[in-house]
A and B are shown apart, each in its own frame.
Chain A
Amino acid sequence: MNLGTRKLLDRSFTALGIGSIVIMGIMLLVVLVPIVSNGIGAIVFKGTIEHRKLLYTEFQRGDKASLGRELAESDASRKKVYEIMAAFESELKGMDEEKQADYQAKYNEVRTALKALLGPLPGEEMPELTRFRYGQTRWDKAKEKLHELLYEKKWDYSNPDAEAKEYFVSRAQGFEGSSLVKLFPYVEEHIDQLMLPEWTFYWGFITDSSLDSHIFGGIWPEIQGTLFLAIGAMLFAFPLGVVAAVYFTEYAREGFITSLLRSANSTLAGVPSIVFGLFGLAFFINTLKVSESKSVIAGSLTLAIMILPTIIRSAEEAILSVPKTYREASLSLGSTKWNTIATVILPAALPGILTGGVISLGRAAGETAPIIFTAAVSVGSAIGLADVFSSPTPALSWNIYNLASEHEAANEIRHVQYGMVLSLVTIVLLLNLSAIILRARISKKLKG
């Protein structure tokens, strides 16, 4: 091969490597950007009057006087809507039967759509479920519901080869000639007065409990559950891991037992996370009976086992990276071996050990599979510290799965799901970021 081609091959080889690194960076952005941008939408959004009403009735927050003013304003414009409907209903009674049945079916759809937008109609009994007691609390959702009120979705099956296409028909056409036809342009023009949207910073998303399985409210029980589980796991795993690391680095002599213990450690690191869940169920709950059924303590123990190898490995590395001179200086001053470890080596290795601990904490917070069978429930309120031994808890990771895949209104509460993912990712990445910073400071210090 001539030199030109060899150089070309060399360049493309480099390009391949840089390309894959760039793709990894892009992937990170592609995953994080929608999560962050949509997740913020769970906290900062245009809230409607229904949102403020909900906050006041369910959480006793907000100013009563200004809420009353706003309610009066929106009620005044809503009154017209209900008047049109009442007029149409009386008109409907006077029609002949066939026409009446036809109108009634369409009118029921309009009523349902209007109820979804504005909440229960006046004179109606208060519904049992919280989700039906209020209209749309978010302006973006309200606009969707407005579209549903104005247009009927239909499917076009005319082309048998392709998939059916959706198209929209104006509902107003169906009521041509009746008094209800006024309703649609009125709602469309006055939607601002009906809903009174305004920018809201809903910090309650972090601190509130959820209402009616996450249709409204916040995610505090999940955040608290995640913190309980992760911190509980650390309480078990961190001391154990550090002591084991001290043994491996300071006391263990190379031999059969040590290499066996080391390979046990790497085996544990390679066990699939779902198997930890099975083990936690079979051992902690069914055999040891640490609790009747799922509980925070069982979940924490399972997570502790999962993160133990990481903690041991990072603590070992941290201890080994302490310069030999420290140890020799301490021993030459006449201190005992244990004394040297406790007062010289461990303090010097502490930042490194903490780095590993922080990363493991993040892993324990983000992991789902081990807690499915041992600790997580989908709906629940925040539990007290005393309940960790007996009761299960909702957790962010599990509820992201649950809301996205199993919730009956998964498409309606995308903002809650994004908010949860953002909270979880923020917790985990902040922990990792602090580990990275910690490590950078250590390496600076070691360099002198």
Chain B
Amino acid sequence: MNGEGSATTGRSSAFVVSARKRKIQTITRTAGESTLLMIAAFVAIIVLFIFYFVARDAIPFFQIRGFSEFFTSSEWYPADDPPKFGALAIIYGSLMVTVGSAIIAIPMGVSAAICLSDVLPFSVRQYVKPVIEMLAAIPSVAFGFFALVILAPLLQNHGGQILMWTWWLIATPFLLLVVVVAAELLTTSVRDEKRRMLFRRILVVLFGLLALMMLFFVGRNLQKIEILTGTNALNVSIILSFMALPTIVSVSEDALQAVGRDLREGSYALGATRAETIVKTILPAASSGILAAVILGVMRALGETMVVWMASGNSSHVPDPWYNYLESVRTLTATIAGDMGEADQVTGSARFHVLFAMGLLLLIVSFISNYISERIIVRQRKVLSGQ
């Protein structure tokens, strides 16, 4: 089968091995290699089996109930008589916690990856990587336990305070920066040096006051918020973001490393600062790889079961208003995990098959996004190596 292998062996032992023996050797080699191929193909067979067996138990649901109810109604009463299988609110809940965790995880993950690949010296990086690996290794049920037993009561009892302090900690440096940069940008057209500095100072004071007012008022309004239940979409989003972070960081770091030194050095040679180099040169070059990282990370959040099951509150309704992260939600994964216990006894009913329909939905979404991210990575590798 294998040209290179047989050639080497053939040449080295041509004068000791008879033709018959060589034939036997070839046959055993072929047999061995086909066995190896079969074992390697095992994974592909499993993937096919997963699709087949999940779909096999999902299709009866659509045969019994049709498509429209599942995707358009948000009334989920599988135990009632007659039962209602509207999964819209559940799909929305999954979407909500995924988006929420992405909002937290993407900026943090990408900036941490940049820091790891371009800023920190090797000696420090050595100690940071195990931290990220440990974060990835903590079992999801331990995160779920943390969310349920520690974070949820904290949010419920001191929610306003926590929101206010988070706002202040994040917004203060950001707004300060915006004030300085905005003042600078708005005064560049003024020619006279003295007048420009004067204008700039006035603008800084003016904008600074505005920013302070904004900080104060938003903070006070946040402090007034009373969180009725600690097991809500915000809690889950926070925890899920930390579960998605390791994936995002390590895959985007790989993408950033793949960009290579010459682009960086070219940019530095033109006088750019490190931040400018990264934002204007490296991020665009690595953007597709980072996109793939984000997709992979976000998919972890979408497919996560235990955290959402324990800490999302499991109430199947679309929050009011739709962006209210302080209300309980219910997700696809948690529904599958939680309802199987009751649906199990009535195998063959719509109630059993609807859970497989949800599984199929998750499977298809994860397959598509996985495929996209893989394509992106392959293409980026080709582009970068082809330069």
**Which residues does A use to contact B, with CB under 8 Å?**
1-2, 5-10, 12-21, 23-25, 27-28, 31-32, 34-35, 240, 243-244, 246-248, 251-252, 260-261, 263-279, 281-283, 286-287, 305, 308-309, 312, 331, 334, 336-338, 359, 362-363, 365-369, 372-373, 397-398, 400-401, 404-405, 414, 417, 421, 424-425, 428-429, 432, 436
Using a CB-CB cutoff of 8 Å, which residues 362-379 of chain B contact chain A?
362-363, 366-367, 369-371, 374
| Minimal beta-carbon separation of B117 from chain A (angstroms) | 10
| Minimal beta-carbon separation of B159 from chain A (angstroms) | 13
Contacts of A337 in B (CB 8 A): 2, 4-5, 8-9
| Minimal beta-carbon separation of A227 from chain B (angstroms) | 14
| Minimal beta-carbon separation of A351 from chain B (angstroms) | 17
| Minimal beta-carbon separation of B199 from chain A (angstroms) | 14
Measured between alpha carbons, how far is A134 from B299 in the docked complex, in Å? Answer: 49
Measured between alpha carbons, how far is A231 from B302 in the docked complex, in Å? Answer: 28
In the complex, which residue of chain A has the Cβ closest to the Cβ of B113?
A17
Decide: B112 and A17 in contact? CB cutoff 8 A.
yes
Contacts of A248 in B (CB 8 A): 40
Measured between alpha carbons, how far is A305 from B43 in the docked complex, in Å? Answer: 8
In the complex, which residue of chain A has the Cβ closest to the Cβ of B185?
A1
Contacts of A429 in B (CB 8 A): 134, 137-138
CB pairs A–B below 8 angstroms (9 shown): A15-B173, A264-B44, A267-B371, A272-B304, A397-B306, A400-B145, A425-B138, A428-B138, A432-B134
In the complex, which residue of chain B has the Cβ closest to the Cβ of A7?
B273
Contacts of B107 in A (CB 8 A): 20
Task: Decide yes or no: A309 and B43 within 8 Å by CB, A21-B112, A366-B139 being known contacts.
Answer: yes
Contacts of B386 in A (CB 8 A): none
Decide: A366 and B142 in contact? CB cutoff 8 A.
yes
Decide: B36 and A274 in contact? CB cutoff 8 A.
no
Given contacts A400-B141, A405-B309, 8 further A-B pairs with CB under 8 A are A18-B119, A19-B111, A25-B131, A251-B2, A272-B333, A279-B50, A372-B337, A401-B310
**One of B119, B139, B185, B374 near A266 (C-beta < 8 A):** B374
Decide: B141 and A240 in contact? CB cutoff 8 A.
no
**One of B13, B133, B135 near A436 (C-beta < 8 A):** B133
Decide: B305 and A272 in contact? CB cutoff 8 A.
yes
**One of B130, B141, B359 near A275 (C-beta < 8 A):** B359
Contacts of B13 in A (CB 8 A): 334
Question: CB of B155 within 8 A of chain A?
Answer: no
Contacts of B112 in A (CB 8 A): 17, 20-21, 24
Decide: A400 and B41 in contact? CB cutoff 8 A.
no
**One of A5, A21, A287, A398 near B128 (C-beta < 8 A):** A21
Measured between alpha carbons, how far is A268 from B150 in the docked complex, in Å? Answer: 33
Question: CB of B184 within 8 A of chain A?
Answer: yes
| Minimal beta-carbon separation of B8 from chain A (angstroms) | 6
Measured between alpha carbons, how far is A35 from B145 in the docked complex, in Å? Answer: 9
**One of B120, B144, B299 near A270 (C-beta < 8 A):** B299
